[in-house]
Every structure is written in C-alpha cells, then in structure tokens.
Amino acid sequence: MRKVVLVSLDAFFTADVKGLNPEGFLAKMLREGAFCRRVNTIFPALTYPIHVTMVTGCDPDETGVGQNQPPQPGVPKGERVWYWERKHIRVPTLFDAVKEAGGRCCSILWPVGCRNPAVRWIFPEVHPLKGENPVVKALRFGTPGYILREEKRFGKLRKGIAEPWLSDYAAALAMDTVRRRAPEFTAVHWIDLDSARHHNGTFSAGAKEAIDRNDRRLEALWKAMQETPAMKDALLIAVSDHGQEDIRETVNLTRMLEQYGLDRRFFVQSNGMSACFFPGGEYEPCDPRQVFTPEQLREMRVARLYTREDLDALHAVQGPVFAAEAAEGVAFSDALDGEKREAATHGFGPGREADLCLFAVYGRGVKQCEIPAMEMRDVGPTVAGLMGLELPRARGTDRSAELLE
C-alpha cells in the first residue's frame, strides 16, 4: 500500500491559486505535481459534510451527513452537538479501507473523525459544550494515550482551540506522528485559513497570512516525510472543502418564521449562505414556492428556493423539506441566543466561484499535470486508487490513473 498524508486546507479555493507565493511550497507542489483547482464541492458547502464526502466518495444523500450539526430545534447555538463521530457516517470510509488492508491510520482534527475504530491515533475535532471539561471530552472522543503523549510534547503550541495556534499544533502532531509511526494513512485538517476568512474577510490581509502559514506548514510536513525513511515514497495530498464570500448583512430566519407565524410549520437550520427548512410540529406537505409571499422572500433576502426535488438532484441529505440560498453578501442565522458577527462565510449552493476547491498530489511518480475539473466525491476513490486500494461503495470516480506517470 502506498502511504499518503492528506492535508485539508480548510477554505482554500480556486481564486487563491493565482495569488500563491511563487517561491512557496504549495506553488511548487502545483508546478511539479498533479492538481485540479476546480473540484466542485457539494451542497451546502459546509466543512463537516464535505470532509465526509472526501473520505467516502459519496454525497450526503448516502453518507447521512449533510450539515455540520444534526437538526436540534429549540437548542441555542452554543449548546448544539455536532456530527463529531464516525458512527454518523453510513458508508465505508478511506480509514476503513486502509485498516482492512492492514494499514494504520492517524487522524488529526479530521471532521467527523472521532471515535473511529479504524483509526489508531486520533486527535479529535470536538469542542466542549456548556459545563463540559475540554480535556475530558477530547480524551473521550480521541485516543487517550496518543493525546496525552502529544500534549506533553506540543501542548505549549496550543491556546485552547484558537487559531492559528491550533493549526500549528495539528502540523506539529502530523510531523511527529509521521516521524515516529509512519502511518499508512494520515489525515490532518488545518482550520487557520477558514477562521481567518470568517473573522477578517475572504481576501483580507489576515487570509493572505493564513495561506502563507499553511504554505510553511506543508513544506515542514514534506520535509518530515522526506527525512523519514519509511515515508520517503509517501504522497503528500492537499485538498480543500469550500471558499468563502464576504457578508454585508445577516438575516435571522428563526425570527422571520416567528414573525410570519410559520414557526410551528417549520424550523430552520442555517448553513451560513443557505438554510435548510425542516418539518415542525404542525407541518403539512407543501410547495415551498407557495409558503412565502414575494415580499417575505425579499425581506428574508432569499435569492433561490430549492424544492425537495432540487435537493434530491443535488444529492443533498434527506430531512430538510426545502432549502433557501441567500442573496450575494447575505448570511442567514438561526441563532436563538444572539449573533456573532462575521466578515465572511460559506454554505452556498452550486455555481459560485467559491465552490471550486483544490486537489493536489505531490511525490515520486506523480505526473506533472492539471486536471480541468473534478467532483468532491472523486477525492475518496482517487486517494484510494493512489494508495492501491478501492472504495467499492464510492459514487465518485477514481482519477488516479490520470495523475501518475
């Protein structure tokens, strides 16, 4: 089995490629390796479902993970659970394929990667809810021995879950694990750029700095791989999940439904630049285009409604009866407990530039080429193909033959 280190550069997208520092490592990866800068992401463009699609090769209608959080009507934002655990994914993952072939996996802050019996070393992507102890929670959701050992060595790099320190920490863990254990499959998620964009804006100086930090992390990780004899032939693969767009206005749809007297028929879950409507206690089947008046749609800043048929055609998850996409520059909120202002976000529908993500492969035997387009569901089977494995349940296509010499 060919070893792979898979790095997710959260919120990196096609527009970032031309702005890359030509002296930087990612530019070198693209120049010398194989890549696609137009990987079509899924709807809605949210981190958790996309990372699940990446490692399964399936869309949310098959994985069962279509948003970051399960629907939790009436629960304040800060108290909601997320799809943290492997058990939420209904289909086999790359981690399963590696383990079945006798390989060892490591996952560091990989979304929906907690409590995964196929993974030997888990640093969990999970956060404490009200009244929970962060250390106890991490130990319960990850691999306790691994977390404690790494925390002793690198804990000083971290400031809780604040960025950019958390991504520095994740990079340090990945390098250390590569050096000491040389896993067959390492998956690591860097949130730095996503966080910088949410806080400062899509093309802000803060975002540029985060791209440069990711560049340096990638270079250091590649160096660690090259210095480890058991990793010398491994491939370094960089992927991304979605871009972002700037926000000028936020509309609280929970409040709007209350105002329109529709809050018993539906409850709404925000995806940032779109929102999913779920059936409430007094729901009766309806055509979403008849639910709101044109005036209400304008007031809610809805640019587009997606019927259940539209959602099925997009392979969106089951559950929502319809969805709405916000007008440009508008974000939806469902908060019951006050707003957190952000400069940019994602969660939009298909056809935006920020839907186009990166897939880049670097290492021995990789062809120097650019693939014009890919689907997010192709990532899983392609990574499996590069490793010499298969993801039999994947709906995406294995493109690995096009990437190797």
Q: Which positions lie near Zn ion, rule CB under 5 A?
A: 10, 47, 194, 241
The residue (of 10 and 168) whose beta carbon lies closer to Zn ion is: 10
The residue (of 96 and 241) whose beta carbon lies closer to Zn ion is: 241
Contact 174, 121 (CB under 8 A): no
The residue (of 150 and 194) whose beta carbon lies closer to Zn ion is: 194
Report, in Å, the least distance between residue 125 CB and Zn ion: 11
Report, in Å, the least distance between residue 163 CB and Zn ion: 12
Report, in Å, the least distance between residue 48 CB and Zn ion: 8
The residue (of 44 and 57) whose beta carbon lies closer to Zn ion is: 44
What is the per-residue DSSP string for 119-161?
-SEEE------TT--HHHHHHHHS-HHHHHHHHHHHGGG--TT
Residues 268-279 as b or e (16 or more Cβ within 10 Å = b): bbbbbbbbbbeb
Longest dimension (CA), the chain: 65
Instruction: Please name the amino acid found at residue 25.
Output: F
The residue (of 210 and 256) whose beta carbon lies closer to Zn ion is: 210
The residue (of 82 and 146) whose beta carbon lies closer to Zn ion is: 82
Question: CB-based contacts of 361: which residues, under 8 Å, 6+ apart?
Answer: 33, 34, 35, 235, 236, 237, 386, 403
Report, in Å, the least distance between residue 66 CB and Zn ion: 15
Task: For residue 170, give both structure tokens.
Answer: 């994740």
Report, in Å, the least distance between residue 240 CB and Zn ion: 8
Report, in Å, the least distance between residue 300 CB and Zn ion: 25
The residue (of 38 and 99) whose beta carbon lies closer to Zn ion is: 38
If you search the block for the tokens 């032939």, which residue do you land on? Answer: 233
Helix (H) or strand (E) holding 51: helix 47-56
Report, in Å, the least distance between residue 50 CB and Zn ion: 7
Which candidate, 39, 36, 185, places its Cα nearest to that of 110?
185
Which candidate, 312, 320, 331, 303, places its Cα nearest to that of 267?
320
Whether the ω angle into residue 44 lies within 30 degrees of 0, i.e. cis, is: yes
Residue in the shown chain whose Cβ atom is closest to Zn ion: 47
Contact 9, 30 (CB under 8 A): no
Helices (H), 227-365: 253-259, 288-291, 294-299, 308-313
Report, in Å, the least distance between residue 161 CB and Zn ion: 15
The residue (of 194 and 342) whose beta carbon lies closer to Zn ion is: 194
Report, in Å, the least distance between residue 368 CB and Zn ion: 28
Q: Give CA–CA dist 389/57, Å, rounded.
A: 13
Question: CB-based contacts of 293: which residues, under 8 Å, 6+ apart?
Answer: none
The residue (of 47 and 252) whose beta carbon lies closer to Zn ion is: 47
